[in-house]
């Protein structure tokens, strides 16, 4: 998601939601045909010798907020039957002395940061202690105790939490696409990936590389050729620019960690068509990314409101990605999706009907047409800080879902149905006789 603490993103999203909400309330047809189960085989995730189909969620704040807030989100995920949680494994800032500025002010989050610029060494440095990566250690250890899997995202296309824009500020580069092309930045990114892969968890004593709690490493959240206005429009970026970067980085991560899957984290934009999200305008070619040998599965996101699309558009978007993954013989994951909730001043639900209708439909399309999993954006919970509304973490972007929202029942039902009878796993089990690895690490398998 265009990150949840960005006020500009929230304003744009809210405006789009209002416009689309007016269309739906005025009678837009969202009654689509019943979803017919697909009998065509799909590749699947595997776990402990079985096909693994699942529902999950996202959360960005667990790695810097108090532990009780992380505990609450993870416990809620477990209670809802969610199996996978995706979170940020980055929190980047400028130099501590202020000579190199922060992409995302003030640089830290509640005093926590993971990477910072060392002006003496002229290179990024790492905060491994209690105000840094020990927070990530804690979340991984608690997830392990609850038998949850965690997707770790290595950087952000957007300036929130630093991300690619912070790398550009470190190295004095003026254009966003230079994150993908300039050698010093690429080497700094590799160093960060290696630092995490080879890190020993201070709570469990296990190297991240050896921890089956980790579902996958994700190269970036929503990589594109464009980001904030500060870095201007791209000058030399083609879809091949991002694809070539992903090829290099996925190969590198695999060279230092053979245990875990690797994904790109792209939004699923196609290239080669004419319609928006299919025309390569953002410098992303989802089909080409799927073909990379060290990318293990596809990812795609779904926000029709903020993309200027009607809710019913989403069914085709999901099916197109299932088909692309079938062609590549790899699993695919709807790893972010959301419809905005309308809330009152205290954060209570005013109207959740659109969200419930959409989530019910999208879950059925994923489950019956051959999708392998879906992670909604995002699960939020308690916040003991004095300025929190009703003791809950604020719904900054209006996509948050709390355990007592009406839509939570749908998500819980989706989790149960994906685990019990997702068509991808059912067809795979029925048509494949090869024994799967009993590894506790998540893997993938293609049908014969």
| Residues annotated as catalytic (active site), given as ranges | 222, 336
What's the rounded Cα separation, in Å, for the pair 60 and 254?
25
Contact by Cβ (8 Å): 47, 336:
no
What's the rounded Cα separation, in Å, for the pair 254 and 192?
14
- The whole-angstrom distance between residue 76's C-alpha and the CA centroid of its chain comes to 19
Taking alpha carbons only, the member of 159, 112, 168 closest to residue 3 is: 159
Taking alpha carbons only, the member of 397, 302, 398, 400 closest to residue 5 is: 397
Contact by Cβ (8 Å): 246, 189:
no
Distances (CA, A) of 1 to 30, 87, 164, 384: 24, 11, 15, 25
Contact by Cβ (8 Å): 301, 267:
yes
What's the rounded Cα separation, in Å, for the pair 356 and 359?
5
CB atoms within 10 A of CB 40: 14
Contact by Cβ (8 Å): 20, 310:
yes
What's the rounded Cα separation, in Å, for the pair 176 and 222?
13
DSSP letter assigned to residue 86: E
Task: Give 174's contacts (C-beta < 8 A, 6+ positions apart).
Answer: 168, 231, 232
What's the rounded Cα separation, in Å, for the pair 240 and 375?
28
Exposure string for 351-364, b = 16+ CB within 10 A, e = fewer: ebebbbbbbebbbb
């Amino acid at each position: 998601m265009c990150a949840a603490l960005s006020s500009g993103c929230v304003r744009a999203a809210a405006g789009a939601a209002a416009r689309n909400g007016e269309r739906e309330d005025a009678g837009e047809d969202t009654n689509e045909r019943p979803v017919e189960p697909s009998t065509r085989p799909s590749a699947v995730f595997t776990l402990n010798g079985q096909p693994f189909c699942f529902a999950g969620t996202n959360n960005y704040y667990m790695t810097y907020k108090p532990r009780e807030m992380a505990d609450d989100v993870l416990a809620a995920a477990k209670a809802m039957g969610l199996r996978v949680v995706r979170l940020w494994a980055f929190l980047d800032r400028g130099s501590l002395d202020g000579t190199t500025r922060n992409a995302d002010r003030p640089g830290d989050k509640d005093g926590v940061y993971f990477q910072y610029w060392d002006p003496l060494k002229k290179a990024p440095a790492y905060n491994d202690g209690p105000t840094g990566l020990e927070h990530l250690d804690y979340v991984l250890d608690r997830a392990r105790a609850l038998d949850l899997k965690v997707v770790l995202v290595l950087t952000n296309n957007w300036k929130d939490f630093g991300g690619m824009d912070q790398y550009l500020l470190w190295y004095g580069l003026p254009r966003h696409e230079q994150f993908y092309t300039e050698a010093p930045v690429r080497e700094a990114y590799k160093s960060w990936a290696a630092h995490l892969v080879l890190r020993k968890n201070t709570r469990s004593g296990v190297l991240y590389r050896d921890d089956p709690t980790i579902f996958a490493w994700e190269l970036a959240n929503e990589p594109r050729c464009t980001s904030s206005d500060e870095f201007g429009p791209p000058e030399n970026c083609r879809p091949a620019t991002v694809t070539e970067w992903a090829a290099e980085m996925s190969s590198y991560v695999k060279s230092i960690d053979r245990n875990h899957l690797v994904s790109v984290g792209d939004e699923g934009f196609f290239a080669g068509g004419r319609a928006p999200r299919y025309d390569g305008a953002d410098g992303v070619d989802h089909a080409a990314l799927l073909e990379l040998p060290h990318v293990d599965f596809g990812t795609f996101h779904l926000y029709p409101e903020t993309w200027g699309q009607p809710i019913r558009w989403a069914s085709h978007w999901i099916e197109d990605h299932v088909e692309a993954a079938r062609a590549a013989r790899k699993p695919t994951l709807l790893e972010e999706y959301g419809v905005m909730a309308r809330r009152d001043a205290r954060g209570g639900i005013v109207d959740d009907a659109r969200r419930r209708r959409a989530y019910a439909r999208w879950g059925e399309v994923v489950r019956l047409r051959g999708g392998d999993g879906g992670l909604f954006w995002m699960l939020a919970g308690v916040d003991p800080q004095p300025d929190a509304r009703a003791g809950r973490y604020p719904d900054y972007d209006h996509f948050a879902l709390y355990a007592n929202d009406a839509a939570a029942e749908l998500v819980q039902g989706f989790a149960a149905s994906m685990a019990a009878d997702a068509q991808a796993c059912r067809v795979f089990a029925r048509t494949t006789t090869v024994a799967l690895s009993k590894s506790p690490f998540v893997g993938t398998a293609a049908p014969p």
